Amino acid sequence: MSIRVGKTGNEAVAEAMRQINPDVVAAYPITPQTEIVQIFSSFVANGKVDTEFVTVESEHSAMSATVGAASAGARSMTATSANGLAFMWEIVYIAAGMRLPIVMPVVNRALSGPLNIHCDHSDTMGARDSGWIQLFSENAQEAYDNAVQAPRIAENPDVKLPVMVTMDGFIISHAMEVMEILEDEKVREFIGKYVPENPLLDVDNPVTLGPVDLQDWNFEHKRQQAEAMRNAKPVILDVASEYAKLTGRKYGLFEEYKLDDADIAIVVLGSTAGTAKVAVNALRAKGVRAGMLKMRVFRPFPAEEIADALKHVKAVAVMDRSDSFNAVGGPVFVDVRSALYDVDNGPKIVNYIYGIGGRDVTPDHVKTVYADLAKIAETGQVENPLTYLGIRE
């Protein structure tokens, strides 16, 4: 039986890390991720885990040590936020390119500057092309569930890619809510024993990892990396279906909320999805056919599945909690619109950038988006392809 508890998002993810019991964790604290590292280090100090905890002097070193440990054959984790992720950047790509199955919770926070410690998705959206799998979470429960599923996805022989598990800074990381955790032995059984393929510590079978890889083979290796990301999609679904048997909680590439018969719909990631559900319910009660698509897996990007789920909708708004500063629209918008390009008579599609730097988003904000969509669905005309939601102009 699952255990019903009240936990903050950070506590939930630290709990998942305790149950995963990684061989190595190398991490550096940064708001709002700090508690994860703090709580986990107390697990280490109190002998609750067997983990070798490496205290490093920066995030660049945190990811470097994690890459080193994973290369040695250790199940390895770290965690970060915002500028910490930015400081890791060089090694984030190396982790993916070396096909190391590292799992990293990232507590979403605005990238400086101006300096801001609150939630937006600019940190992980910047890493969307780094070669990491990205799983977004609506709440503490999903952050926990994604963290428990992540090692199985990362370590699958067809995948062997690092995984980021995200949650919204403060909004989820520091908010206590009801969730269920699994018993330790169930998690241990679910994730199983990690058997690395070519560990450096296997001295009987010496290998070199991460050598120079020039014109003759680099392209082939990058092609394999791309294939691994394609392979990740069915693996993520397989792991989710096994996890559903264990917990009753079903996960897919995304969640469709009242989308089947929707005329208008939004696409959203993270905690705002829960707020949007309240708006959808209120609109449905008035007879408005509103729906929502909440993305869980942003990388690999489920383009065909999204196109299929949205093809019948008349107007779609993609909600971006970060800006691409490309003078066009946010990163989720660009990908979703591209996914819908080949759909005949597909929906009109618009972009809303919202919640930057932790700007609060209420059901009323979301309702204004649906009101705009209703107008677009009725007239077939798009007046504003890009709207900054809740901004003072």
Q: Which residues bind another protein (CB under 8 A)?
A: 4-6, 117-118, 138-139, 168, 170-172, 174-178, 271-272, 274-275, 277-278, 360-363
The smaller minimum CB distance to another protein, of residues 199 and 363, is found at 363
Q: How near is the Cβ of 362 to another protein at its closest, in Å?
A: 5
Which string of DSSP letters, residue by residue, matches 110-128? PPSSS---S--SHHHHHTT
Q: How near is the Cβ of 164 to another protein at its closest, in Å?
A: 20
Q: How near is the Cβ of 365 to another protein at its closest, in Å?
A: 9
The smaller minimum CB distance to another protein, of residues 5 and 244, is found at 5
The smaller minimum CB distance to another protein, of residues 130 and 275, is found at 275
Q: Exposed (0-12), middle (13-18) or buried (19+): which is 263, by Cβ within 10 Å?
A: middle
Q: How near is the Cβ of 324 to another protein at its closest, in Å?
A: 24
Q: How near is the Cβ of 113 to another protein at its closest, in Å?
A: 16
The smaller minimum CB distance to another protein, of residues 66 and 141, is found at 141
CB 294 within 8 A of CB 269: yes
- Give long-range contacts, CB 8 A cutoff, 24+ apart: 250-255: 251/142, 251/145, 251/146, 251/149, 251/296, 252/296, 253/295, 253/296, 253/297, 253/302, 253/305, 254/293, 254/294, 254/295, 254/296, 254/297, 254/302, 254/305, 254/306, 254/309, 255/292, 255/293, 255/294, 255/296
- Give long-range contacts, CB 8 A cutoff, 24+ apart: 323-326: 323/122, 323/353, 323/356, 324/125
The smaller minimum CB distance to another protein, of residues 64 and 139, is found at 139
The smaller minimum CB distance to another protein, of residues 252 and 274, is found at 274
Calpha distance 75→102 (Å, rounded): 7
Q: How near is the Cβ of 179 to another protein at its closest, in Å?
A: 9
